[in-house]
Structure 1
């Protein structure tokens, strides 16, 4: 089949060798083999129905074994029939070293998945990642007791900050065996070519040799933006960039699942430009509007009795050049009530009717089905109906990369204004903000429900010498 070797590399194809060429010629995919009716597959491939049914059952059972939910695995009960306590024993997470943040994340960052930390500059992404580099070395339930691998695409690993967190965080003071910087391996990828080589060849060897429990990629967008946005040629390279993102996402997911480790990537954000509506809904006139005086009727066409043929033709051309989006909300032009059509106007209408009419357009999609409306639910910004659309952010790399991550954690920040929260710059004479308020928000995740709209349910935290610390409600009131 077209993709059987990629979906199930270890599937035994020898018993079905005579069926595969016909399936390949008919371009039957693994998904179609499992979802289409056997009779439809038989008509499409001209193969015996009984043989096709055996193949479909074998592929389905192989997928169950690969996912770990098969009842035929010796010594392993089906995951669908395990109790809640049994599933909890198999679940492992890496703590953020803060109780409130861990509670919002369902215990921490899970293993076996690709998790994305997205936020603006200064929101606390790097502090979050550095905390996890230390926490993964702790024994369960706070860590995995395994080393970490840090892959940098921008700035090198801040060992000075790591040492500061290790000495200042109260969680490490009472431990007999503290995390060390020696168990954090780091490498740099200055361009996309070296990044792909390291992820494909060097990282699997490091994971196998040192039993790595956490892979951090900081950041995932830097090399892609430098490679595909040079000279403003992003549009022509969109297909190539999407293919590279899918390939990297598959590679990271395979590492996380195969070695039961956590993959955490940091991502940047960009401003989201709100879409403007055209036509009468926006309150702006169309391009065919003509200025009229106070004592003349306001009509999109000039008065036929006092206009020349050239003016009528020009007005007609301007009407045909109206925006398609605006024409959906306005019907064809009608004369004002009580107006009698003149011969000149009738001639003009006849002239326009002789032109070929455009095909009827489909009705506009409901607002809930528009991409701008749905995009807010997977980005972390804009799901609050009362939020300012001019302040919306969007994670870089677009929707293609969003489908490659299992969990997205957004870090949001807002400035704190006031006399006590600004400092004066003696050199420039201006003022600078002293404090920011920061929140952690779960956008989507496989193991915990997402946070509510806006900041509803988000956990406020601060960055201190020891790392991240949630702000209690009593302190917020003060």
Structure 2
């Protein structure tokens, strides 16, 4: 019963003052009052059954009113359901508003676009295209339905100011924005810079609700959510990393839960779309090697064992590239023992064997389904070494409704170089390939393992667009977006 004031702060307890001490003494909670039988509660607390029944009825009615599902009498004397949680399917569809990315393939992967009323995270490395993606949403949200919400937008930056030059470039060159009868404008983008965590909390808690109501804003972008938390909790006063940061991490987790609750309340109460950008960090396994790395090594060793080898060591990238395996001095590979006869190959009865680890409930095993990296069932050795994970950890992951990962990979070419030894080819970076991957969402299917279901896109001068066959994107080795290569902020 001690949690009644927390569950229902507005519940009037004056008429039940004599019952509360006995209920608290017997550890009867609010959940017990609405789930257990009144006779059982009266026996445990040694109270009159009628008084307990009256209290349970009032608590249940107050809880319904607080949730918005209480039944009220209409003017004609009939019971009418209050508009709250009880909504028909048509009501839910009518309230389902989304913001388009202005590309059909990307909208299809996102289940129609970025929905209002939820927190959506856009995560990726530097240069993957996060800021370009967010700028597109800032402009498309100003368009009328079905492409946008027809309202102004709010951009909160924790690192650098809004790139207005890029915004103006998109307004002039994007085919949809430039030709729309009601084009968006830079004047309808409200921008705020928060240099530290204290100002960020004050702005989100007090200033943002006022701005939303005053200007009718329905898109809130926070770019990025991790910057101030990294600066506040991962560095000490001297600017160096704090080794003994256990208390800092606990405090950071509590602050992240508060931030998630605050953003969710803003999204639900005002019907706005909350989109946050997040940074990524290199992933290190607690067991010394991540699952994809170990699986890549096992795949390599399995191939060698099939041909009669006895190698159990991870492969050397240099020897793998040359196709020659050099034994390690002092290893069993140097002993001249006859190779055993190859065992007959049998079909694997368990198709999920590559996904099995010694501890399937560990974070190393589970995070491949919540981070966007490491879920490729057949990773290359290079890909297994460059795994990423979104910042702020598992605590922040539980606060968001959708995670979209922007993944980039380099494409190398060769140039001919002349030196004293003659002409040779050296690898050089030609361009970047980028993919949009839906990691998890309640309204759209996940993209799947690796990049098989992800949407490849390019950053061009006229905006972000999906790559299609024969358009100079990923298939024919064309240039990355014709001038958009340097725009992947």
Asked whether the 8 Å contact 1:224–1:241 carries over to 2, the reply is yes
RMSD across aligned positions (CA):
3.3
- Aligned counterparts of 1:117 and 1:451: Cα–Cα separation in 2: 15
* CA distance 1:76–1:273, shift in 2 (3 Å): same
How far did residue 391 of structure 1 move?
2.0
Distance apart, 1:169 and its partner CA: 0.8
The equivalent of 1:394 in structure 2 is 389
Residue-pair matches, total: 387
Match of 1:212 in 2: 217
Give 1:276 shift.
Answer: 2.9
- Residue 418 of structure 1 deviates from its aligned partner by 1.9
Query: Which of 106, 113, 118 pairs up with 1:108?
Result: 113
Q: Which has the higher helix share?
A: 1
Q: Distance in 1 between matches of 2:138 and 2:207?
A: 19
Q: Provide the C-alpha distance between the structure 1 equivalents of 2:386 and 2:249, rounded to a whole number of angstroms.
A: 26
* Structure 2 SS opposite 1:257: helix
Q: Confirm or deny: 8 A CA contact 2:170 2:177 kept in the other structure.
A: no
Length-normalised TM-score, structure 2 = 0.70
The residue that corresponds to 1:242 in the other structure is: 253
Residue in 2 aligned with 1:405? Answer: 400
Does residue 1:172 correspond to 2:181, yes or no? no
Q: Per the alignment, in what secondary structure is the counterpart of residue 149 of structure 1? A: strand
1:225 equivalenced with 2:230 (yes/no): yes
Pick which of 253-262 and 67-76 moved more: 67-76
Query: In the alignment, which residue of structure 1 is the partner of 2:450?
Result: 454
| Deviations 1:331-374, CA, capped at 9 Å, x for gaps | xxxxxxxxxxxxxxxxxxxxxxxxxxxxxxxxxx9522222111
Residue 429 (structure 2) aligned to one of 427, 433, 439: 433
Structure 1 pair 275/168, CA: closer, same or farther in 2 (3 Å)? same
Change (3 A) 1:189 1:75: same
Alignment match, 2:305: none
SS of residue in 1 equivalent to 2:285:
coil
Q: 2:372 touches 2:405 (CA, 8 Å); kept in 1?
A: yes
* 1:125-177 per-position Cα deviation (integer Å, ceiling 9, x unaligned): 10111111111111112111111111111011111111111111111233222
Q: Which moved more, 1:29-38 or 1:119-128?
A: 29-38
Q: Alignment partner for residue 192 of structure 2, among 187, 193, 198?
A: 187
Q: Over residues 290-339 of structure 1, what are the superposed CA-to-partner deviations in whole Å (9 max), with x where a residue is unaligned?
A: x9xxxxxxxxxxxxxxxxxxxxxxxxxxxxxxxxxxxxxxxxxxxxxxxx
2:140 to 135, 147, 153: 135
Q: Is the Cα contact below 8 Å between 1:274 and 1:389 reproduced in 2?
A: no
Q: 1:37 and 1:202, CA in 2 relative to 1: closer, same or farther beyond 3 A?
A: same
1: CA distance, partners of 2:32 / 2:110: 36
1:255 to partner: Cα distance: 0.7
* Distance in 2, Cα, partners of 1:265 & 1:449: 20
Equivalent residue, structure 2, for 1:374: 366
Name the SS for the 1:237 alignment partner.
helix
Q: Is the 8 A contact 2:414 2:428 kept in 1?
A: no
Partners of 2:402 and 2:206 lie apart in 1 by 25
Residue pair 1:274, 1:390 contacting (<8 A) in 2 also: no
**Which of the numbers 264, 277, 286 marks the counterpart of 1:266?**
277
> Which residue in 1 is equivalent to 2:165?
160
Q: Is the aligned partner of 1:467 residue 2:463?
A: yes
Q: Which residue of 1 aligns with 2:268?
A: 257
1:14-163 mapped onto 2 (5 Å cutoff)? 19-20=19-20, 74=80, 82-83=88-89, 85-163=90-168
Kindly indicate whether the alpha-carbon contact (under 8 Å) linking 1:153 and 1:219 is maintained by their aligned counterparts in 2: yes
Pair member with larger Rg: 1
**For residues 49 and 144 of structure 1, what CA distance do their matches in structure 2 show?**
54
Distance 1:79 1:251, change over 3 A: closer
Give the TM-score, by structure 1 length: 0.72
